[in-house]
């Protein structure tokens, strides 16, 4: 009987080798970020560096300015214009509080009670953005004019007497007073408060309100324990979006105020465009940025929303 020969075992098929990832895919996220980074460098970083060098220069417009590292300009600017700094913070804080008191009920209405009218109300909130900031402020100058209906109504309610005693109005007039400046700031920046509040309130699950009702919680308790804590990100975002630009604003103080209501933004504008003292103007700008950065950082840490930074 012939011997049966066994066939040699087959060699294992080598596993297909994975191709190494292309280097282009690894750099693609950075390439996508490149336009935004270039924009920030050209329109933010370079101007800030230029202003920093300007703030430590000495000289005049006729003779030219040179970098002499004259840091005393910061102290001189702060010691001379500290009242305008305090006034800017006071006006901006007052406008922010008023925007929160006016904007929160409206944002709550849009989020939970507006129903089919939600889109219409949102359009009315955004509608002022379609008009120039300058035109809106000039309109308030007409609304608050002497002898107008607003002044007459406030005078009839004896509001002007109280505000005059506090120094916010001048007797029987509102225009060219701190009250007019704060009203202008409140109106112009109110949408910046409403939109973040609405976004935050809309994310709240309505079932949480139903659960609070099932537990026999009063509406005030539900708002204090459920609604307001969950809307804190919107409150913090809205107050920052209102306070930061209001602090550096100069249009409302220029059109609705007087020489006694000048804010630091008016001083910077005057130093840059009229007096032509560029080092002082640049130093004031950096002091304002540093002050706002410190206040915002402390506020965010105090409110417990560090994730917004």
pTM: 0.85
Residue 12 has pLDDT above 80, yes or no: no
For residue 5, pLDDT over 70 is answered with: no
40 occurs within a structural domain: no
* pLDDT, position 83: 94
pLDDT above 80 (res 305): no
Which CATH number goes with the domain that contains 149?
Answer: 1.10.3720.10
Residue 30 lies in a domain: no
Residues in the chain: 309
- Which of 23-37, 179-193, 204-218, 283-297 has the least mean pLDDT? 23-37
Pick the closest to residue 219 from 3, 150, 22, 228 (CA basis). 228
Cβ atoms of residues 276 and 208 within 8 Å? no
For the segment 205-221, the average pLDDT, to the nearest whole number, is 88
Report whether pLDDT(53) > 80. yes
| Mean pLDDT in residue range 264-272 | 93
In a domain, 158, yes or no: yes
Establish if 43 belongs to a structural domain. Answer: no
In-domain check, residue 13: no
For tokens 């840490």, the residue is: 301
Count Cβ atoms below 10 Å from residue 259 Cβ, excluding itself.
8
* pLDDT score, position 309: 47
Q: Is residue 57 part of a domain?
A: no
Task: Tell me the average pLDDT of the chain.
Answer: 87
Domains: count for the chain: 1
Confidence of residue 1 (pLDDT cuts 50, 70, 90): very low
* Of residues 169 and 125, more confidently modeled: 125
Domain-embedded: residue 179 = yes
State the distance between the two ends of the chain, measured CA to CA, in whole angstroms.
Answer: 89
Given this model, what pLDDT does residue 85 score? Answer: 94
**Binning pLDDT at 50, 70 and 90, where does residue 232 land?**
very high
Handedness of CA 293, 296, 301, 307 (dihedral sign): negative
Pull the structure tokens for residue 170. Answer: 């001048």
Distance CA 180, CA 199 (A): 30
Burial status of residue 53 (CB atoms within 10 A of its CB: 0-12, 13-18, 19 or more): middle
Q: In this structure, is residue 145 part of a structural domain?
A: yes
Numbers of helices and strands, H then E, in the chain: 15, 2
Q: Any residues with CB less than 8 A from the CB of 7 and at least 6 apart, and which?
A: none
pLDDT in tens, 244-254: 999 999 999 99
- Please give the residue range of the domain that contains residue 152: 85-278
135-164: average pLDDT:
84
């Amino acid at each position: 009987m012939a011997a049966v020969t066994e066939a040699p075992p087959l060699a294992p098929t080598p596993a297909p080798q994975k191709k190494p990832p292309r280097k282009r895919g690894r750099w693609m996220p950075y390439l996508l970020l490149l336009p935004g980074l270039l924009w920030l460098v050209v329109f933010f970083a370079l101007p800030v560096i230029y202003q920093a060098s300007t703030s430590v220069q000495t000289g005049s417009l006729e003779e030219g300015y040179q970098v002499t590292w004259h840091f005393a300009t910061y102290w001189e600017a702060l010691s001379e214009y500290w009242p305008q700094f305090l006034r800017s913070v006071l006006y901006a804080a007052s406008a922010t509080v008023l925007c929160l008191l006016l904007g929160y009920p409206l944002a709550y209405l849009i989020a939970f009670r507006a129903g089919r009218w939600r889109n219409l109300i949102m359009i009315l909130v955004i509608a002022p953005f379609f008009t120039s900031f300058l035109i809106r402020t000039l309109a308030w100058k007409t609304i608050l004019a002497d002898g107008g209906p607003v002044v007459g109504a406030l005078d009839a309610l004896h509001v002007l007497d109280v505000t005059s005693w506090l120094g916010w109005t001048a007797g029987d007039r509102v225009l060219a007073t701190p009250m007019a400046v704060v009203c202008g700031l409140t109106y112009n920046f109110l949408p910046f408060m409403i939109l973040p509040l609405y976004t935050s309130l809309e994310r709240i699950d309505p079932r949480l309100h139903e659960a609070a009702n099932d537990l026999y919680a009063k509406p005030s308790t539900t708002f204090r324990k459920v609604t307001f804590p969950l809307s804190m990100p919107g409150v913090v975002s809205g107050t920052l979006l209102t306070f930061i630009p209001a602090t550096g604003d100069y249009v409302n103080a220029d059109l609705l105020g007087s020489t006694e209501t000048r804010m630091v933004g008016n001083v910077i504008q005057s130093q840059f465009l009229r007096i032509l003292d560029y080092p002082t103007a640049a130093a004031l700008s950096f002091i304002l940025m540093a002050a706002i950065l410190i206040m915002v950082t402390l506020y965010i840490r105090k409110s417990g929303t560090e994730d917004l930074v």
